[in-house]
Amino acid sequence: MTDHPALVTRPAGPAEPAKYLSVNADGALQWVADPAKATAFASMREAARMALRLPAAVRAFGLPRDVELHAYA
C-alpha cells in the first residue's frame, strides 16, 4: 500500500483564501496560504490525526497534497 502525502487545511470564508498548516522545526504551528509551503504529512491518516489534535475552535481536516498544489497553481 502506498501512502499519499496530505495537508491539513481549515475552511475558507467567502472572502478569505484557504489556509494550510505549517509545522516549524520547533513544533510551532502557523497557517499559510500557499500549499507548497505547508507541512506535507505522510498520509491522509496522519493529516487527520494532526487535524484532530488542534484546538476544538479550529475546524480542520486533511486533503490530498497533489490535488491542492494543482488547484493552487
The band of 14, judged by pLDDT with boundaries at 50, 70 and 90, is confident
The band of 2, judged by pLDDT with boundaries at 50, 70 and 90, is low
Rounded Cα–Cα distance for residues 40 and 14 (Å): 25
- Average pLDDT (3-30) is 91
Cα Rg of the chain (Å, integer): 12
Give me 66's grid cell. 497533489
Question: Mapped to the 3 state alphabet, what secondary structure does 36-51 carry?
Answer: HHCCCECCHHHHHHHH
